[in-house]
Structure formats: C-alpha cells, structure tokens
Structure 1
Amino acid sequence: MKFISIFLFIFLGLILGSHAQFSFDGQYFTRGEYRNGYAKIIENGWNPAFFIAHRARIQATYLHNDYSFFMSVQDVRTWGSTSQLNTTDSFLSVHEAWAQVNFNPDLSLKVGRQELNYDNFRFLGNVDWAFQARSHDLALLKYEKNASKLHFGAAFNQQSQSFSGTLYEQPNQYKTAQFVRFEQLKGGNAYSLLFWNEGRENGGQVFFKQTFGVSNFQLGNSRKLKASGYLYFQTGKNTLDKLVSAWNFGIDFKREFLLDSAQGKKLAFSSGFEILSGTKNEDTKDRSFTPSYGTNHLFNGFMDYFFVSNVLTPPLGIQNLYLKGRINTNSKTWVQGDFHFFWAHQNLEMDIGKYFGSELDVSFGRILNEAVSIQAGYSRFFAQDRFVKISGIVNAKSNQDWAYLMFILRPNSKNRFIGVRI
C-alpha cells in the first residue's frame, strides 16, 4: 500500500508540475561509514563496523497567495537490510505533511508535521545529519514583518485515537509542548529569544520542564570578526519528579580571509567554548542541561559521544573548547579541520580530574555540478582513562576512530553539504 501511495505521489507531481503554483522536488544521499569507536568507546579485540545507508525524499509543494501545502515522503534504509526479492517493508515514511493559511502578508498559520529549524540548531533543529531527521506534529502561528519574526507553536500528542483517557507512553517524546520565539535583525547584527515548555508523561503523571533564554546573538562581520552565541536555562521537573535547574552557554568567534575572489579561494577560522551544566552525584536537583531537540552532531565533535549516544552516566555535563579552520581552494572545494578539548562540568570522583580527552575531525567537500556534491570525513578520539572508565569499558582499543563518505543529490537546495559548519 505504501508503494502505491508513493507512486501516486510521483504521478501527481508529474501531472501538476506544469502549473506554476505546483513544484515537485526531491533529494537523495547515501553514506558509507567505518565505525571503530563511533558514539561509544570500543573494546580491544572488537572488530570495526562498516555499512552503507541512504535517504531518498520526494517533496511536493503547492503555493497560492492565500494558502500552501507541502508533503515530504522519505525512504531510509541500510543497504542489504531487505531481500533482493522484497515485496514490502517498513522503511517508507512521511517526514513532513503540513498546510499553511496566509491571513495577510505578515500573519500565517502552519499546521501539521513539520521541521523546527531555528538559530544555530542547538535546541531546535531538524537533525539533517541523521538519515531519518526530525519533525514535529504541531500548529505554528507566524507573524513576520520586515526584520522581526514572532512565532507561537503548540502541540498535543497521542499514540492512537482512543475512546477514553489520554495516556501517552511514546519513549523520549513530549506529550504536550508550547513555545514562543522572537527574532530581530538589524544590519549584520541579530538576536533571538526562545521560551519552550514541554510536558512528558511518566506513570500517568505529566511533568513540565521549561527551556528559555537568548537562543542566538550575532555581532560583527566574519570578514573582520564575528561573534555569536547563546544562553539557555532549564527549570521545572523531570520525569522522575526532580526539580530542574540547568543552563547552557556557548560563544564563538569567526574570522574570514578572502585570498582570491575570482577563484573563490578563502580561509576561515573559528574558536569557541561551550558549557552544558551537569549534576553532582549527591545533588537533590537535576542540574544537567538537555539539548533535547537540537542537531547535536554539529557541536561536540563528529564522533557523537555527547548528547547523541548519552555515554555519560551519571550526567556530569560537558565543557568544550574548540578550534576550527577551513580553506576553500576554489568555489567548489573545501577542506576543514576541527579540534575539540572536553572536560566534565562536575567532578567525576575525588582527585581524578575532569579532563575527558580530545577529538580531531577532518572534513572534505566538493561540488560536482549544480545538483551533486560529495563529502567525506575522518575523526579520531583521544580518550583519557577516566573517560574510558565512566564509559563502562575495561580494556579499550588504543585507537578510537570513524570515517565516512557521502554522495549528495539536492537539485534545489542551498545546503550542498550536511552536518559540517565552520
């Protein structure tokens, strides 16, 4: 049935594509990964993993002055996970399906399954690096005029259309959420404010937690010196009925040098620091900040040890100092190197220190034509013994590394590369 639906989706796009208000689009990327310690320290004697997976999306948009409609269907699978003579599977899904009504040029309402992709994606991002990515079921009221934007969002989730009760037991997901976000641009400077309230259910009781703060600020120009950052606080209660008092602060400085404007040759450097607060073992409050819906792959190293794999137990928080550099050899090719230093925010044990280790990330990108790009990377984590210990590993391999190669087809997207930023 799913394949009949996707066929009709394609057919509809081909039939209506001639109308100016209807556009038909898509994207495809495949990624091969070598994993030898990705997301978790690997034991000595364990063999590395290797696989190839892909994401294929078909997207349709219908635009009108008073309303619009968008739908995105995707296939996410690991190569070889189904038989060559396969008749049906569960890998096809709807990533987005929403409708929007425009009340006037400044005010609109968007309802349905949609991505939330704001600011630098620290707290709200579509997780484009992940094959499946992330989308929310909600209603979004938008007021946008000139350089100001004001968004209100609200959601209420249920697992089925039941006849009584509203019990919600979907793992790691809110039952209800509301948010308001304000953004102001002025020249090269900008700032945005975010308030997010969510309720998660546990044992029939809903616990509410709030995240709020300056979700982004930008000052200056990257050709001279550009500063950007964010500051969040979290309050309320977690699902264990424990009071929350946590925070997250990050700041970044970037400088760009134009070497040859005709060839597109340039050099860029950035340096920054981030703290995500953690909890001491004896603390009566939950002081561990959780970037629940962010694109975490962009922040604390590409090997995804922190806030992706949740390797830290107990959640001691992270301090991350980083240096990045990128050279564009021409308008189509770049090479980038990142180096991170990681410390726990709270003490691990008495007198053993906080330093976890460091990570080197090397990335490469090349635009082949107006639709196709390739991207590759290699990362290595230099773990301290204390980090190996809290990871629950007794005899760790001497080298912990990861590599990937991607083929990306995005005909009508400005984002030619995925999961890398300077």
Structure 2
Amino acid sequence: MLIRKSLPWAISIGLFGAAAQTSFAAESFTEALSKGEAHVNLRLRYESVAEDVAAGGNKTGDALTLKTRVNFKTDRLKGFSGFLELDDVSNFAGGSNDSVNGNVADSLIADPVGTEVNQVYLAYKNWDSEFKYGRQRLTYDNHRFVGHVGWRQNEQTYDAFTIANSSIENLKLNYAHISNVNRIFGEASAVGDTEMDSHLLNASYALPAGTVTGYVYLLETDDNFAGFKRMDTDTYGIRWQGVAGDLAYNLEYATQESAGANPADYSSDYMLAEASYKLAPLTLGLGYEALGADKDGFFITPLATLFKFQGWTDMFLNKGLGNISDGINDTYFTVGGAALGMNWLLAYHSFESEQNNAAGDSDLGSEIGGMVTKSWGPYSAELRYASYSAGDSTGFNGGGLSLMDTEKVWLTLSANF
C-alpha cells in the first residue's frame, strides 16, 4: 500500500522541479470564451450480428445508430482552459440487445441510447506540463491497458486528475488518479459506472531506434457491485516500439497480481510481439499476444479498448475482463494496402488457450476479417466484416463465456466539423 499513497507526491515533486514560463493567450474570461473552438461530430453506423446458440439454431441483431457529439474548448487564460463535450446516441432502426433495453433474445450490440456529458474538465498548462481535472478521455500506448473504447457509440471516459509532463527532452511522464470509470453501457445500466481509487503511471523515453515505455497501473475499486472487485490488480510492465527501415515492431511484457479486495489470489504474465513490414504496395503484419493464467486467476485488462484486440467479433470480452480462466494466446496475420483512393486491410486470428480445459483441449477457434476505408474532406466511410469460427472450442463454453460461430458487419459514415 505504500507505493499507492506515495505516487502522487513523487510525481508532483518531479514535475514542479523544472518550472518554465508559458505564454498566455486570452486577456480576459470573455476573450477566452470568444476565442474558443466548437466542433460537431456525427457518426452513423449500421451493425449486424448473426450467431449460433448453444441450444441449436441462431439469433441475430441489427441496429442503425447515430452518435451526435458537440464540444467546446475555451482559449487559454493565464494557463487555464475549459472543455465541455456532450454526446447523444439515437437508434433509428433494427432490433438488438443494447445492454439495457432487455431484448436478451436478440444479439448484443452495446450502443444504448441516451445523452451524456462525455467530457468536462479544467486544464492548466505550465512548467512543460498539462494538468487536467474532471471527466476526460484517457489512453496510454496502444490502449491494451488504458483506453477509451472509441469504437462504441458511447465512449468510455474517466473522472480523474491527470498530469502530462515533458520537462526532460525525449521523456514523457503521465500520471492519473481515477475516481470513476464512465463505461460504454451508459447511466441507465447498473454497470455503467465503476467507482475507483486507482493510480496510473506511464513513462516513455524516445531513442533514435524507437521508444521504451515503463508503466505501473494500480487499480482499486470502491464500488461494491458484484464482480467489480475482480478489477483490483497491480500491473507492472515495459514496452519497446522499434523501427528499422521498413520494419516496425513492438515488444511488451507485463506482470500482474491481485490486490485490494480481489476475490482471486494470483500472479500472471502478459506478452506481446508484433511486427509490420512495408513491401510496397503492401504492408504485412505478424503478431503474437499471450494473456496468461494460473490455477487461481488470470491476467485481465478491464480498462482496455478491447475491440482492438483478439479480433473484431469480441468473443473474449468475458464481461470486460479481456481474458478467460485458461488464458488466451492469439497468433495473427494482417495484410493491407491502398487502391482506388481507399485503404484496405485483411486479418486472420488463431486462438488457443494457454492451459488446456478439462477435456484436454486448447482450441479457441479462429477469425477472419476485412475492412475498407475512405476519407474525403471532413467525411469518412468504413465497411468492416468479421467471421469467427468456434472450431473445437465448445469445451470452454460456460461461466458466461459462449464461443459460437459468429458473423458481424459494420457500415460507418462519419463527419467532423
């Protein structure tokens, strides 16, 4: 517990040790408002799901939703600025389980309707640092441990105090204290918020050949909702993002142990090795990600943008934990390029459990996916498809995990003004 209490003080001492004056913009509060910037974002999406069910047959779901986002940022006044962002999600057609409407007979498309304050914070810039207090977007590295789940229409944001410092050349320090997680399920859901007393520290140093990052994420929930205490974990990790000519690669290792009131008592590891190579006109990718498990628990990433990992069909969310009791090893291949003014990508994932199930099997199935994107001016469009094949994974079904053949299609249109 000593490291949890001492982190804020250590960060503050380091940041205020290198003070440098900042140029200030607006001269008055009225001027800060008049020089502010307002933006509107519209994202219309059609999503379709078709999946087998364990009892036989299948179920489907589809939804046509629109996210309307309006935000305003003031100009800086004596280093201070404010930001306000409102989101509205509407559903125009289709039938699906949006996680709160009770349509459990339909497939899950977790985009509940509603209007929320997505972000509202006060920021201060000085001493080569930016301080933010309030509801804000928070992402670190590739979003594997801390992300905003921007794929879903209702974004995940954090009620937090954050510091970002760059006083030392090539070194970036980030600290966050999180008091609440505003999850994608919205205010109407019993699991829409997770109260926390969590400390995050992420430090990266840029070198000519790449960037090395070290991190400490100490998660502790203050919420008594069943299952949330599973999030109480201490995670320590290191990441290397390297570049060598046309080759880019990422190497990462982390270890995690249960903490606080976590009902599990375990220690487990995480590993990532991936690379991409530009072989004009294509870019080829290869990766391997392993989320470990032991007999008492398994490595989890409850604040991650999980859609970015383990394929696009979201088969291994496991109530937001991002892993299953036997662990997950994901080997994946990608190939992408550009044609006719559009970008395209094909992906293949092969999943295995780290530990065999009770039947002695480790097959968790596979997924193929593809997408095409195009941007023009303030507009963009994306067509995406993914198909998961369960293979011999039925022995893992249970405990809230259901691995069944699943197909998903998304068509997204966006506009930013």
Give the match's secondary structure for 1:388: helix
Q: Distance in 2 between matches of 1:19 and 1:175?
A: 33
Q: Distance in 2 between matches of 1:254 and 1:272?
A: 9
Q: TM-score, normalised by structure 2?
A: 0.77
Map of 1:306 onto structure 2: 316
Equivalent residues in 2 for 1:336-351, closer than 5 Å: 336-351=345-360
Q: Distance in 2 between matches of 1:81 and 1:298?
A: 25
Task: Kindly indicate whether residue 253 of structure 2 is the aligned counterpart of residue 234 of structure 1.
Answer: no
Equivalent residues in 2 for 1:245-284, closer than 5 Å: 245-258=267-280, 266-279=281-294, 283=295
Of all paired residues, the percent bearing the same amino acid is 16
Greater RCO, 1 or 2 (C-alpha within 8 Å, sep 6+): 1
Q: Distance in 2 between matches of 1:344 and 1:158?
A: 29
Equivalent residues in 2 for 1:60-75, closer than 5 Å: 60-64=72-76, 66-75=79-88
Task: Kindly indicate whether residue 412 of structure 2 is the aligned counterpart of residue 406 of structure 1.
Answer: yes
Q: Is the 8 A contact 2:292 2:328 kept in 1?
A: yes
Task: Kindly indicate whether residue 91 of structure 2 is the aligned counterpart of residue 78 of structure 1.
Answer: yes
What CA deviation, in whole Å up to 9, does each residue of 1:201-230 have, x standing for no partner?
47699884211211x321114x52111132
Match for 1:186 among 203, 207, 222? 207
Task: Kindly indicate whether residue 391 of structure 2 is the aligned counterpart of residue 384 of structure 1.
Answer: yes
Equivalent residues in 2 for 1:2-401, closer than 5 Å: 21-37=35-51, 44-64=56-76, 66-80=79-93, 91-104=114-127, 106-145=128-167, 146-157=169-180, 173-201=194-222, 208-214=232-238, 216-221=239-244, 224-237=246-259, 239-258=261-280, 266-279=281-294, 283=295, 285-286=296-297, 288-307=298-317, 315-329=325-339, 332-351=341-360, 353-367=361-375, 369-385=376-392, 387-392=393-398, 400-401=406-407
What CA deviation, in whole Å up to 9, does each residue of 1:305-324 have, x standing for no partner?
01265699962110000000
- 1:295 is displaced (CA, Å) by 0.9
Q: Is the 8 A contact 1:379 1:401 kept in 2?
A: yes
- 1:360 is displaced (CA, Å) by 0.3
Amino acid at match of 1:391: N
Amino acid at match of 2:385: Y
Amino acid at match of 2:381: I
Q: Is the 8 A contact 1:26 1:56 kept in 2?
A: yes
- 1:257 is displaced (CA, Å) by 3.0
Q: Is the 8 A contact 1:174 1:198 kept in 2?
A: no
Q: Is the 8 A contact 1:333 1:365 kept in 2?
A: yes
Q: Is the 8 A contact 1:237 1:244 kept in 2?
A: no
Give the match's secondary structure for 1:200: coil
CA RMSD of aligned residues (A): 3.3
Map of 2:3 onto structure 1: none
What CA deviation, in whole Å up to 9, does each residue of 1:154-211 have, x standing for no partner?
133599xxxxxxxxx9677242111211111123511211111121247699884211
- 1:245 is displaced (CA, Å) by 0.7
Mean Cα deviation higher: 318-327 or 232-241: 232-241
Map of 2:98 onto structure 1: none
Map of 1:415 onto structure 2: none
- 1:278 is displaced (CA, Å) by 2.2
Amino acid at match of 1:25: H
Q: Distance in 1 between matches of 2:338 and 2:324?
A: 41
Structure 1 residues 250 and 143: CA distance shift in structure 2, 3 A:
same
Amino acid at match of 1:175: M
Amino acid at match of 2:249: A
- 1:45 is displaced (CA, Å) by 2.5
Unpaired segments ≥5 residues, structure 2: 1-29, 96-111, 183-189
Q: Distance in 2 between matches of 1:306 and 1:172?
A: 21
Structure 1 residues 112 and 257: CA distance shift in structure 2, 3 A:
same
Structure 1 residues 240 and 320: CA distance shift in structure 2, 3 A:
same
Mean Cα deviation higher: 304-313 or 61-70: 304-313
Q: Distance in 2 between matches of 1:150 and 1:314?
A: 32
